[in-house]
Chains A and B, each alone.
Chain A
Amino acid sequence: MRLIKSLFLSTVLGLAALPAAAQQDIVWWDFLSGGDGVRMKALIEAFNKEHPDIRIRGTTLEWGVPFYTKVRTASAVGEGPDVMTYHLSRATLGIEEKVLSPITDEDLANAGLKKDDFFEAPIKAATHDGKLYAVPFDIHALILYYNADLLKGSPYIDANGKLAGIKTLEDFNKALDWLKQKGVPTPLTYQSGGDGGVWRVFYTLLTQQGGEFVTNGKVLDGDNAAKAAKAIDIMSAWREKGLTPEQAEYEASVALFSAGKSAFQLNGVWEVPTFKDLEKNGKLGFKWGAVEVPPFMGKRSTWADSHAFAIPNEGDKTVSGEKRAAVMKVIGWMEKHAISWADAGHIPAYKAVTEGADYKAMEPNATYATLAEAAAFDPQTRITGVASPAYDAALNVIAPAIQGYMNGTDAVAQIKLELQDKLK
């Protein structure tokens, strides 16, 4: 039966690889779709063109749980990719799952990189027990998008068409009410029916109150519970008054904004290119902008995470030698060409790129450039991060609470019940 496999592989793959026998094939997995996906594919193509000796074979899997389930299983049986994108928010979980192979100093040297080349926060998130487990690629955060045309005539837009005067939750709620009365169907949109969208908004509202999700090995301990309940109740109130969409899927939540049915959107920086592209092609039909999420609850804070590159363990073994060197070469190249990635709205983690003039001139990235100071990363625990128990709770506890199935306090009790055991 091995024979069938090898016969098949040699015919299918062999034929394709014939012209350049020495070519190194790099199997690459990512979870990037939409504007992100387009830009990443362009980067991969550019790399392949420049490097006749290395060929990246990219595969895009579904973001979130499907991606990380596949990665974990494939890595456990030694069938994982050579390199993959990974969220630093789940680095602890990834190390716990034994998926991540440590990146040595030698690896970094092969990529032409040093730890000092990167911003400190993502490097810290990727480091455990002194070992680096992933190479950070960007920092991305939740921002507030607005439709300037819909807000025209309200006190919340200045003469230049920029958002103004929204400093507290009260201001924001007034703006939403004003929009609703004006007949805007869904004044504020976010992915209310998915783990990612719900978590990002919830975590932003929690941390803006100075709340923390995990303290001293306890989930939502002490007054953090009340703060979390308050965050959930705010989100429920929005839904109840018809200010936010019910159970919106990701694409639908974005479509509401681009179709002019929502005046505000709470979403990650990665949708910036979507609206840029639409505007460029003349298909958007309104003026828009994006700002750091205002300090609704008093404190400047906004959910943030990092995309990184990681090398999976392959069962008992790990990719080594030439292949690993080639992988590191790919990573190094990507970091140095991260300006195209910044075009996807992200802040490159590689400092040199952010210091260039190209980056400083980029709009609207410059408007929210300050948000690095307000970035609130998920705590580094085994229950948090993309596709973690906390994200599951966002989908199965917080989302129903927002839909009115229970109040904030009960939801928090249930979150604690479900997550505390898993924290151990």
Chain B
Amino acid sequence: MSDVLTAPRSQTRRPAKSLARRIENIVLSTITLVAALVWIFPLYWTLITSIRSDENVAGNASLLPDEFRLNAYVNAIFNTRLMTWYLNSVGTAVIVTVLVLFISMLCAYALSQIRFPGRGLLYGVVLASFMVPAQTLVVTQFILMKDLNLINTWAGIILPQLIAPVVIIVYKQFFDSVPKEMREAVVLDGGGEYTILFKVFLPLNWGITTAMAIVTFIGVWNAFFWPFLVVTSENMMTIPVGITQVKDAFGVAYARLMAVAMLAALPVIIAYIIFQRRVTEAIMISSGVKG
């Protein structure tokens, strides 16, 4: 599992390789490398812009960093409500992640391990809700939130994001693959379904749970459309919605805008660098190309 990226074919290590092959390999590797650098250029350029002074940004096409100022960052932190938005983003993303895992895990376990009336129907519903676009429901979801008095609240941001059919499907596939004997052993000891789920099944593969947590967290952290609709007060905005406000308050000041963009991106970038393997795995698992 640790080697998700390494292709098993050992072509490159085989000794008998013609010169032409080797040149081809070098050329193609170089192209890939250059393409990767081009691909990351926008982020690099954002960083460079953000550490320049506002006056130096306009018309400065120098690709190398020529000054290092943190003014734009200081400005962004103290003149916007970035810290409040961080708090809202972290708070809602953590709560959604925990609840999604809990709700989906229970539902998936029942679907996988217990025979009960309506099971087939329920699984059909889960699969169907995976196919249909929840984004088209925003109008009536908004009206519902208004009726529940949840506009401009964390609950309003959180609740419609709790339905995650993908997580249920992945968990169900995992539970399906657990050998029958493990379950029967617990049943003989007099353990109930909850004991089986939390004491046996879950600890079997924390990797799945971590993966689902990561995928859910990234999704919620980056969510734009729904938080944008359900929040009208600056104090309740999440990072992706909040930073669009900064533009309007600042006018055109690109160093500051890019500093704000960097600050908004930094937590996810750092998290990605730390958990790179996990993230990679999580995405493969959740899209079913790797069980």
Contact = CB atoms under 8 A, between A and B. Distances in A.
Q: Are chains A and B touching directly in their complex (CB below 8 angstroms)?
A: yes
A361 interface: no
A99 B190 CA distance: 64
Contacts of B232: 70, 73-74, 77, 79-80
Contact of A4 (B153, B234, B247): B153
B209 to A, nearest CB: 24
Contact of A13 (B87, B154, B155, B235): B235
B153 A5 contact: yes
A59 B234 contact: yes
Contact of B251 (A2, A12, A37, A79): A37
Interface in B81-97: 84, 87, 91
The residue in A77, A80, A251 that gathers the most chain B C-beta atoms within 10 A of its C-beta is A77
A78 B232 CA distance: 10
Contact of B248 (A60, A74, A80): A60
Interface residues of A, number: 25
Interface in B125-159: 146, 149-155, 159
B248 A2 contact: no
Chain B residues touching A, majority SS:
helix
Nearest to A5: B153
A152 B64 CA distance: 42
Interface in A77-103: 77-80
Contact of B155 (A5, A12, A33, A70): A5
B252 interface: yes
B155 A77 contact: no
B61 to A, nearest CB: 17
A238 B252 CA distance: 28
B146 A77 contact: yes
A374 interface: no
B248 A4 contact: no
A34 interface: yes
A390 B119 CA distance: 55
B249 A79 contact: no
Contacts of B149: 2
B252 A4 contact: no
A2 B249 CA distance: 31
Nearest to A62: B248
Contact of A1 (B91, B152, B153, B248): B153
Contacts of B235: 12-13
B12 interface: no
Contact of B249 (A12, A33, A73, A74): A33
B233 interface: yes
Nearest to A252: B252
B245 interface: yes
B112 to A, nearest CB: 30
A61 interface: yes
A405 interface: no
A218 to B, nearest CB: 33
A286 interface: no
B108 to A, nearest CB: 25
B151 A251 contact: no
Interface in A255-303: none
Contact of A79 (B151, B155, B247, B248): B151
Given A4-B155, A5-B154, A34 B233 contact: no
A39 to B, nearest CB: 13
Contacts of B152: 79
Contacts of A80: 232
Interface in B72-131: 84, 87, 91
A60 B249 contact: yes
Nearest to B251: A33
B248 A33 contact: yes
Contacts of B84: 12
Given A13-B235, A33-B248, A61-B245, A77 B151 contact: yes
A138 B159 CA distance: 44
A326 B272 CA distance: 49
B154 A79 contact: no
Contacts of A4: 153-155
B237 to A, nearest CB: 10
A70 B232 CA distance: 7
Nearest to B153: A5
Contacts of B234: 59
Given A70-B232, A79-B232, A1 B251 contact: no
Contacts of A70: 232
Interface in B190-234: 232-234
A74 B151 CA distance: 9
A60 B251 CA distance: 11
Interface string A54-68: 000001111100000
A333 to B, nearest CB: 23
Interface in A4-29: 4-5, 8, 12-13, 27
Contacts of A73: 232
A251 B252 contact: yes
Interface in A381-422: none
A164 to B, nearest CB: 34
Given A4-B155, A34-B251, A37-B251, A79 B233 contact: yes
B27 to A, nearest CB: 43
Nearest to A255: B252
Nearest to B232: A74
A74 B234 CA distance: 12
Nearest to B250: A33
19 contacts: A1-B150, A1-B155, A2-B149, A4-B153, A5-B153, A8-B91, A12-B87, A33-B248, A33-B249, A61-B248, A73-B232, A74-B232, A76-B146, A77-B151, A77-B232, A79-B233, A80-B232, A251-B251, A251-B252
Closest 4 pairs between A and B when the two form their complex, measured CB to CB = A1-B155, A74-B232, A5-B153, A62-B248
Interface of A: 1-2, 4-5, 8, 12-13, 27, 33-34, 37, 59-63, 70, 73-74, 76-80, 251
